[in-house]
């Protein structure tokens, strides 16, 4: 969140590619350095720095894509698709370096786990029971010295390095071109292509609604995936932990498929059409989710990737839609991802409290409420957008 906030103020200070290179380079060094010192407060600080660079990177990438392409939908969706692919690849890269457990299960595992889940009233206890399901009654021989997880951090840092170096190359390349232009034309004055933003009261209402929209957009996948396993194991369906882990993976797979296809959808259809079509499907899926999500396990199996699919295109799509009538100012990008970070933090936390205090059915109603909130907020944004004064380049497009 702080990284996204800082990006809004830093974007206009110097070249975006140089800022992106520095952010990636710091993030790369931070990842490699995390396991080097065995101190908890050191890790707190390094993970904080890495989160800071992540907020900077996502804002700078969107800003550069907005400058390179007139039609913002496909590149924005491509960036969002890349984040999904990275989230899937990172655990696979780390897995070979994790400690191989050598265990000998006992017959009391299922009985102990079932008893602990039945008697737990705290969500924390429920989570602890689920996480330790495969460890209860087992003789674990793996120790801290057996793991090579520190090498996984180094591999992930090397994985980030080419992206950083590529931005350094492009910064040097375009810098050389600009120096040549200045040398050829002594009277050359570099113009600021970002038109001056004239703030009006209607913009305040629109940006507030946009902030609410991004809080809801990020909270839907975060809350759904965070509580899904607990709901499946302790809720009315009483499903196994392994099934719920697989179901969560299917949710993210559906999200990845949607972001991949949305890059092609936005080539033929407008951002408004793509968002409206997916929102219609999201509301229908939400109604089915509330109706059948507590009754039939097969419904939850089908609904999880479906919810992942219909909840995916908005994070990039709404920002691309905003650029149809407003200039992509760095502070707009910063606002969107700042709100997104708030949604990621707040809703899973409050969802856990509701689950603990009022039972598993609150999970269904919370997810459905977020879906309805997204649809209503986007309807408000669409109405407000008609009252916004168009920027010069956008007004020419409409003419």
Quick: pLDDT tens for 187-203: 444 444 444 556 678 88
Q: How far apart are CA 377 and CA 379, in angstroms?
A: 5
Highest average pLDDT, of 100-104, 269-273, 372-376, comes from 372-376
Tokens representing residue 184 in the block: 């050829």
- For the chain, give the number of residues: 399
Residue 126 has pLDDT above 50, yes or no: no
Q: How does DSSP assign 36-85, residue by residue?
A: GS--HHHHHHHHHHHHHHHHHHHHHHHHHHHHH-SS-HHHHHHHHHHHHH
Kindly state the DSSP code that residue 140 receives in the 8-state scheme: -
Residue 109 has pLDDT above 60, yes or no: no
Q: How far apart are CA 224 and CA 350, in angstroms?
A: 12
To the question of pTM greater than 0.85 for the whole model, the response is no
Residue 120 has pLDDT above 90, yes or no: no
Which comes out higher in pLDDT, residue 157 or 114? 157
**Mean pLDDT score, 154-182:** 84
Contact 209, 384 (CB under 8 A): yes
**Mean pLDDT score, 231-238:** 89
Task: Tell me what pLDDT residue 318 has.
Answer: 92
Task: Tell me what pLDDT residue 119 has.
Answer: 39
Q: How far apart are CA 173 and CA 183, in angstroms?
A: 16
Residue 369 has pLDDT above 90, yes or no: yes
Give 323-333 pLDDT, tens digit per residue.
888 888 888 88
Tokens representing residue 1 in the block: 């969140």
| Per-chain mean pLDDT for the chain | 81
Close Cβ partners of 210 (under 8 Å, ≥ 6 residues apart): 318, 322, 332, 335, 336, 339, 381
Task: Tell me what pLDDT residue 297 has.
Answer: 92
């Amino acid at each position: 969140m702080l990284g996204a906030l800082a990006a809004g103020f830093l974007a206009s200070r110097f070249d975006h590619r140089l800022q992106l290179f520095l952010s990636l380079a710091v993030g790369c060094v931070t990842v490699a350095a995390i396991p080097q010192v065995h101190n908890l407060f050191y890790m707190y600080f390094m993970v904080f720095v890495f989160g800071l660079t992540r907020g900077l990177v996502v804002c700078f990438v969107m800003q550069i894509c907005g400058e390179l392409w007139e039609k913002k939908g496909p590149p924005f969706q491509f960036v969002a698709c890349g984040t999904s692919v990275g989230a899937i690849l990172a655990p696979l890269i780390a897995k070979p370096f994790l400690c191989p457990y050598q265990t000998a299960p006992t017959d009391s595992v299922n009985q102990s786990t079932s008893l602990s889940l039945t008697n737990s009233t705290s969500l924390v206890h429920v989570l602890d029971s689920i996480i330790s399901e495969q460890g209860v009654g087992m003789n674990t021989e793996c120790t801290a010295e057996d793991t090579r997880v520190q090498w996984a951090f180094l591999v992930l840092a090397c994985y980030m390095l080419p992206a950083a170096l590529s931005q350094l190359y492009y910064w040097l390349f375009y810098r050389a071109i600009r120096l040549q232009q200045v040398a050829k034309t002594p009277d050359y004055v570099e113009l600021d292509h970002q038109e001056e933003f004239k703030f009006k009261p209607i913009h305040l209402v629109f940006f507030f609604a946009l902030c609410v929209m991004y809080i809801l957009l990020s909270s839907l996948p975060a809350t759904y995936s965070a509580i899904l396993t607990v709901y499946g194991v302790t809720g009315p369906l009483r499903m196994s932990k392994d099934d719920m882990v697989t179901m969560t993976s299917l949710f993210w797979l559906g999200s990845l498929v949607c972001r991949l296809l949305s890059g092609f959808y936005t080539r033929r259809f407008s951002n408004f059409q793509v968002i409206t079509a997916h929102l219609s499907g999201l509301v229908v899926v939400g109604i089915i989710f509330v109706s059948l999500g507590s009754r039939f396990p097969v419904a939850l199996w089908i609904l999880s990737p479906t919810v992942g699919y219909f909840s995916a295109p908005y994070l990039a799509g709404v920002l691309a839609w905003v650029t149809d009538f407003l200039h992509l100012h760095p502070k707009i990008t910063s606002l969107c991802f700042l709100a997104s970070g708030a949604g990621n933090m707040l809703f899973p936390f409050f969802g856990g409290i509701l689950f603990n205090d009022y039972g598993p059915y609150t999970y269904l109603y919370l997810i459905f409420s977020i879906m309805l909130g997204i649809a209503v907020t986007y309807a408000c944004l669409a109405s407000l957008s008609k009252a916004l004064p168009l920027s010069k380049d956008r007004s020419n497009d409409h003419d």
